[in-house]
Structure 1
Amino acid sequence: MTILVKRNRAQAMQHHVQVRHHTLSVDEPPANGGEDLGVNPHELYDSALGACKALTVLWYARRKQIPLDDIQVAVDRDDSQERQGNYKLKVVMTLTGDLTDAQRNELLAVAGKCPLHKLMTQATTEVTTELAPAPQ
């Protein structure tokens, strides 16, 4: 699958991200030269983790018939040491429903196994960047 990121030349820094048939706007806040017309890349990264945990927990609860009524995930970032190679994300899940303590703990454990959590903490990601051929 290819994700396409295209600049909106009518704005200072805004880009549109095309994923399948979905479009997201990304931008930077004014302090970084943008106009805050969308989330920034760090926010996409952080929110991907929160969304993955929410979807994984909901899927699991439905599959196991655990009475989870709702889930809310808050992700807080500490990027104060990012340049030193330490990027901290704190995730707090709010679960509602007629849940026992054992079910709550089971869902917490499942959240720690979401695919993006594993990807961010257990996998080595290799990135290559190259130029497309110059237009003729």
Structure 2
Amino acid sequence: MTDTPRPSAIAADSGHGGLQTFVTAGPTSLVADVKVSAGGLDLGPDPHDLVAAGLAACTTMTLRLYAKRKNWALGAVHVEVRSSREPDMTPPERFDREITLDGDLDAEQRERLLAIAELCPIHKLLTQGARVVTTVG
């Protein structure tokens, strides 16, 4: 028997109104929604927040893996990402990422970790793009 890989994410809407969407990503389920001003009930992160969360999580994991491989004394890693839209810019979507690194790191190590953050797979996906292939069932 072969294991069928599970989808990376599933979103389901009951069809009973509203914008609340049940999302399963990996082994976790949550509700996605939008702000009241956009027609939702603000019961969960909106899709832009979910993308920002992916960038923050991937950045944190990438830095941790790199520091561990180098045996650097990296303490806590805190990454905040803010999503915004600038309609007059190309592309209009903007993600501001702030990284806080604790631990006994010198200036060279901190600079290298900043460069490594730019190599996180989700950062690269957002800056280089991806193909989306859609089918309707």
**TM-score (norm: length of structure 1):** 0.85
1:104 aligns with 2:110: yes
How big is each residue's C-alpha offset from its partner over 1:42-90, in whole Å with a ceiling of 9 and x where there is no partner? Answer: 1111121111111100111111111011010111233122785322212
1:79 matches 2:104 = no
RMSD over aligned CA atoms reads 2.0
| Matched AA of 1:20 | G
* Residue in structure 1 matched with residue 3 of structure 2 by the alignment: none
| Structure 1: gaps (5+ residues) | none
2:19 and 2:34 in contact (8 A); partners too: yes
- 2:136 equivalent among 119, 131, 134: 131
Identity %: 33
TM-score (norm 2): 0.85
SS in 1 for 2:23: strand
Aligned length, in residue pairs? 131
Structure 1 residue runs of 4 or more that deviate by more than 4 Å after TM superposition: 8-11
Distance (Å, rounded) in 1 between the aligned partners of 2:101 and 2:53: 18
CA distance in 2, matches of 1:85, 1:118: 15
Rate the CA distance shift 1:5–1:98 in 2: closer, same or farther, 3 A. same
Once residues 121 and 103 of structure 2 are traced to their aligned partners in structure 1, the CA distance between those partners, rounded to angstroms, is 24
Tell me whether 1:67 sits opposite 2:80 in the alignment.
Answer: no
Deviations 1:6-47 (A, max 9, x none): 125567221111123211210111111111111000111112
In 2, Cα distance between equivalents of 1:74 and 1:19: 21
Structure 2 gaps, min length 5: 1-5
SS at match of 1:116: helix
Letter in 1 for 2:62: T
Of 2-11 and 71-80, deviating more is 2-11
